[in-house]
Structure 1
């Protein structure tokens, strides 16, 4: 195992590529031990070489280290992988694009990495570069999860979601709602900063259901309460009343 780390740090190009590829052959315990001993940094350095084979081997190795290990996902992000992955996405190389996206998504599955990913410009880049519905859904999912993160992260994520929803409300409204954005948005509309509250309210207005078609009694009950909350927001209702209604709405949405 020490050989892999030595080759990655000091070996020639071919030796580095072979060592990176060999990471996938190691046991879970061996991977963890190597990660603890500094294997991740030379792999992240390989991402910055602009050499296709080196980048491909490094991405595969990092994916192998990240699978099933929250600690390694954090280590990979802390070693500077996220900016390096974003640069790879901008190359528009089809094969590397899929690997880089997979790496970004697996890193985003760790809650500790979500604030950095949400504030890095990753989602805007994905929307700009990748037109497929799956990738837009993936980007939206990362943002919705970030709505439950730290204050600045929440505000940034909601601001981008507003842009996404405005670009095509009919397409993205349901997508955002299905990912569970409402509780975090309602909470932010009450206890966020002034700018965060404004952004949350803007997105809430975009997410309103203007249809009155048939639905289950539970859905109708939630809709009635949501409309009451929105009327309070529209009319600048008393803070105490608004907070109480929001708390009721959040409780209902989470049941």
Structure 2
């Protein structure tokens, strides 16, 4: 018992020592935060001292959400935002990196940074030839645009055209950040038309061609393209881009559940907008097999979109239909993927019955529509 009591006392002493050490560090950290804030807010202070203060803030802000909040309370955001407009590029970079770390996983700081006027100088940095500053600004726009209350301000700032340019000329990371930032801003409907006007569609299609179709990046890219496909200009840009429709068809075949849902939405939007123009273009790229698979394997939304699009693609007396053997082979392949080889035959029969039943329903519906539109004199005689 004596030994156990001694061990317990040692543990208590260690805990007390650790607690005291932690409390002492917190006090020193708080004093350091206040000191850095004073250096930044010293209007006549040495610029080099402010740059170093920004660098120190960047390092300390990595440690915890609480530290980031404490910095904001200490009043460092406004002077850091002011440094974004400095003629000294080192000052701009140091303040930008500090603000980025202050904004990470801190909603209040994101809102405070935008409210302090950070967006205009960040948009200016997006135009810089200095690739490092431009892409840091892209990362900042991405981070700040994740806040719902910031989106309207950033969307109205003119950032989108510059982000679109980065889709064509930035580094791989810059392109990823630009796509994600544009995706964040896509909920602001007023931001969509400028996106089309400055040519977002071709670079987005090129990025989709190059990336893995099942990646998160592809999901954001197809989501943006689906939004743009609701505009006449966007539809034309997709069909006019070299291999544009083919890229979307390939995404239907190889994408993730999210990507395929957006991709089939794009094709459906095209076909519904002008069936006579886009139907043959979609068929030419071999869309049928992927769409058939999607009716069995996609999300509920993707399945419904695929069925609707198949109806639009098939509904023509002059259409060259798939040979029955090819159709059966495709359906059997789908059935094997869905239920395995043991049950494939039974599942394939069910899928084919459903397709025939749906085709009969559509045919009857069209007959009823034509009959209802006939006048008595036009109605066929018995």
- Provide closer, same or farther for how the CA distance between residues 228 and 42 of structure 1 changes in structure 2, counting only shifts above 3 A: closer
Residue 294 of structure 2: aligned partner: none
- Is residue 181 of structure 1 aligned with residue 213 of structure 2? no
CA distance in 2, matches of 1:228, 1:9: 56
Asked if the contact 2:208–2:247 (Cα under 8 Å) also holds between the matched residues in 1, the reply is no
- Partner of 1:142 in structure 2? 181
Residues 113, 223 of structure 1: alpha-carbon distance in 2 compared, 3 angstrom cutoff: closer
| Aligned CA-pair RMSD | 4.2
Q: Is 1:100–2:137 an aligned residue pair?
A: yes
Q: Could you tell me how far 1:137 is from its partner in structure 2? A: 4.0
Q: Return the alpha-carbon distance in structure 2 between the equivalents of residues 85 and 223 of structure 1.
A: 33
Residue 109 of structure 1 corresponds to which residue in structure 2?
146
Task: Indicate if the aligned counterparts of 2:161 and 2:194 stay in contact, CA closer than 8 A.
Answer: no
Contact 2:155 2:185 in 1 (8 A): yes
Name the larger-Rg structure: 2
- Deviations along 1:125-175, one digit per CA (max 9) or x if unpaired, are 24446614623343233223333x133134444554xx1224x68525657
Residue 21 of structure 1 pairs with residue 55 of structure 2: yes
Relative contact order higher in (CA < 8 Å, ≥ 6 apart): 1
- From 92, 96, 109, give the equivalent of 1:72: 109
Which residue of structure 1 aligns with residue 200 of structure 2?
164
Residues 118, 156 of structure 1: 8 Å contact kept: no
Determine the structure 2 residue equivalent to 1:240: none
Q: Is the 8 A contact 1:44 1:58 kept in 2?
A: yes
Provide the rounded CA distance (Å) in 1 between the counterparts of 2:225 and 2:88.
44
C-alpha distance in structure 1 between counterparts of 2:265 and 2:126, whole Å: 43
Report which stretch shifted further, 73-82 or 171-180. 171-180
What is the distance in 1 between the residues matched to 2:206 and 2:266? 21
CA distance 1:126–1:232, shift in 2 (3 Å): closer
Aligned to 1:252: 301
Structure 2 residue runs without a partner (length 5+): 1-32, 212-216, 277-297, 305-382
Structure 2 counterpart of 1:151, from 186, 189, 196: 189
- Per the alignment, residue 279 of structure 2 pairs with none
Please list the CA deviations of residues 9-32 of structure 1 after superposition, one character each: whole Å capped at 9, or x if unmatched.
113323322322221225532320
The residue that corresponds to 2:272 in the other structure is 232
Partners of 1:46 and 1:55 within 8 A in 2: yes
Cα distance, 1:235–1:20 mapped onto 2, change above 3 Å: same
Shift of 1:40: 0.7
The 8 Å contact of residues 226 and 266 in structure 2, kept in 1 or not, is answered as no
**Secondary structure at 1:112 match in 2:** coil
TM-score, length-normalised on structure 2? 0.48
Equivalent residue pairs, number: 231
Shift of 1:204: 6.7
Q: Shift of residue 251 of structure 1?
A: 5.5
Tell me the SS of whatever aligns to 1:35: helix
1:12 matched to 2:50? The reply is no
Are the counterparts in 2 of residues 35 and 72 from structure 1 also a CA contact under 8 Å? yes
Distance across 2 between alignment mates of 1:169 and 1:95: 22
CA distance in 2, matches of 1:55, 1:21: 11
Show the counterpart of 1:246: none
Tell me what 1:50 maps to.
87
Distance 1:203 1:143, change over 3 A: farther
> Is residue 2:96 matched to residue 1:59?
yes
CA contact (8 A) 1:158 1:200 kept: yes
Question: d(CA) in 1 for partners of 2:86 and 2:127?
Answer: 14
Relative to structure 2, which stretch is displaced further, 76-85 or 115-124? 115-124
